[in-house]
Amino acid sequence: MTAAFCCAVHSMNAHLARRNVQVRNHYQRDAALANLANGVPRDVYRSYHTLKARSEGARYWMQRFAAARVRSEILDTHLAKITDFIGL
């Protein structure tokens, strides 16, 4: 979960940097991604937030996730939506 979210963070930072938007923390990144002027589609923004929430659940609340769920929900759906958006 955390690795998937980190990939999303760096991917979205790259998108923002291409638009000359610099962020220094999660709060600034979240605000920049929510700003429609920065060109992030709502579904991509929702996937980013899903990855963030799942990562926090795994790190802080010791949530466990079945491998099949990680593959289908996290990697093949939410992370794929972000990497497709930025062209990876």
pLDDT at 6 over 90: yes
- Look at residue 2 in the predicted model and tell me its pLDDT: 93
pLDDT at 19 over 90: yes
Single pTM value for the model: 0.92
Q: List C-alpha distances in Å: 24 to 28, 42, 70, 75, 81.
A: 6, 22, 28, 26, 24
pLDDT at 61 over 90: no
- Look at residue 63 in the predicted model and tell me its pLDDT: 86
Virtual torsion, Cα 56, 5, 31, 46, nearest 10 deg: -90
Q: What pLDDT, in 10s, does the model give residues 23-53?
A: 999 999 999 999 999 999 999 999 999 999 9
